[in-house]
Amino acid sequence: MNDSTLSDTELAAVLDAFSEPAAVLSADYLVIAANQAYRDHYLQSDSVIGQHCYQVSHGYQRPCDQEGESCPLQRCRQTGLRQRDLHLHNTRHGQEHVDVELVPIPVGVKEPLYFLEVMHFVKVANAKPEGEGLVGSSKVFNHMVSLIQRAAPSMISVLLLGESGTGKELVAKALHSASKRSKQPFVTVECSGLSESLFESEMFGHEKGAFTGAINRKEGLVTAARGGTLFLDEVGDIPLSLQVKLLRLIETGTYRSVGGVELKHADFRLICATHRDLTESVKEGRFRQDLYYRISPFPITLPSLSERAEDIPLLVEILLKRLTDEADIPHTEAVKVSADAMAYLKSYSYPGNIRELRNILERALLLADYQIITPEHLPENIRLPQQVSTFLNTNAGSIDGLIPLAELESVYLTQVKQNTSLKNNELASKLGVSERTLYRKLQGLP
């Protein structure tokens, strides 16, 4: 080694300048040097040197891209530019979300020989059933977390899109807590159902005597959010007449309280959320296009729970923990879910998403006296899909071939009639038809 070359120990000492795990990798994925944080974080301890990075962080035998993940090192090698990717790593603390940053050495040269790898800890999400915030580990969830990580530190306005109950408010809070404004206020404005006068006085505040009933001066939510984040929930529900007022606030960054003359300067980071398709609302003339462009420079679509069904067991565990903590019931052991109850929970489609799962578990906890949740503690409608699939498999053969609906109905009704002791009026009500309709259908049975 000549004088101008760093020894491995010196290289490790340089890497120790990073507080987060950092390593130097070769183009063929070998760890050449690593700082103490890297050695402490992963399972291999001192033996990380000379191992493949994918082995150390994932336990894989092949590079990440061959395991269905996107590999920042590969892209870094091709482009010669810095790359980032969100991965789920196996660490001493279990599975963790890590924002992996790869920098080619030197920068800007294609096919570089070495790379600096820095692991940024992701605080906004958890892959274990712990903590207060977002929990999940599915691919679609991780993709959403990577977008949160990118947007959070900047001032860009974020538009959260997703069905009701998918966690938009929780994501808005995560964006705020990972931003430079995290120590400042996070203020939510519930936009649906706000009348014109209420919107203005809620948002901008009012002066004493500004209108009948304004006995005192009141500060608005825009003022309350000063220095922090303003979260407009259900922004798609704001009537057109109020959209122009919101647009003016965003465009000029100024506002006046109701009855006031002084022009005030707003200072907030804007996050909006809606369950509506705003592009459709724009086409239909129900949402202003100029406002849409103002609020949507960084859209994040939240996956529905059925798109991330593999997260259900993890979510069940964290929601049960949170619910039992909230209920403050002394219990010696964690509540358990029987295997058959979990099978029902995993196969249901959840139109109300995580909120519906939470409600189902809250009810089940009470019925199970905070002990073991079994199928009888779950609502009937969530047990239906499995009954239907069992029924299809046992009565109608393979579902690969299409079954005429009339035939399906007739087989179903025959079986129901044979197995129920309900009177016709009760059965009709359970099946959601009138007694006359049920009678007619039963007459037609073979």
User: C-alpha dihedral over 173, 177, 183, 185, to 10 degrees?
Assistant: -10
| Amino acid letter, 104 | P
Residues from 304 through 323 that contact ligand ATP (CB under 6 A): 315, 318
- Residue 359 CB, shortest distance to ligand ATP, in Å, is 9
The answer to whether 91 contacts ligand ATP (rule: CB under 6 A) is no
- Residue 355 CB, shortest distance to ligand ATP, in Å, is 4
- Residue 44 CB, shortest distance to ligand ATP, in Å, is 30
| Amino acid letter, 191 | C
Taking the least distance from each CB to ligand ATP, the nearer of 39 and 308 is 308
The answer to whether 360 contacts ligand ATP (rule: CB under 6 A) is no
The answer to whether 166 contacts ligand ATP (rule: CB under 6 A) is yes
Both tokens of residue 3?
A: 């004088």
* H/E run at residue 284: none
The answer to whether 170 contacts ligand ATP (rule: CB under 6 A) is yes
- Residue 361 CB, shortest distance to ligand ATP, in Å, is 11
Both tokens of residue 396?
A: 């109608």
Cα–Cα dist 82/100, whole Å: 11
* H/E run at residue 144: helix 139-151
Q: Which stretch in 148-156, 166-174, 210-218, 222-230 sits in contact with ligand ATP by CB under 6 A? A: 166-174
Cβ contact 72:42 at 8 Å: no
Residues from 228 through 247 that contact ligand ATP (CB under 6 A): 233
The answer to whether 220 contacts ligand ATP (rule: CB under 6 A) is no
Selected binder of ligand ATP within 15, 88, 134, 266 (CB under 6 A): 134
| Amino acid letter, 232 | L
Taking the least distance from each CB to ligand ATP, the nearer of 179 and 274 is 274
Other CB atoms within a 10 A radius of the CB of residue 330 amount to 6
Residue among 51, 125, 48 at smallest CA distance from 86: 125
Selected binder of ligand ATP within 104, 136, 220, 236 (CB under 6 A): 136
* H/E run at residue 159: strand 158-161
Residue among 353, 359, 320 at smallest CA distance from 337: 320
- Residue 357 CB, shortest distance to ligand ATP, in Å, is 8
Q: What is the CA radius of gyration of the chain?
A: 28
- Residue 236 CB, shortest distance to ligand ATP, in Å, is 10
Residues making contact with ligand ATP (CB under 6 A): 134-136, 162, 164-170, 233, 275, 315, 318, 354-355, 358
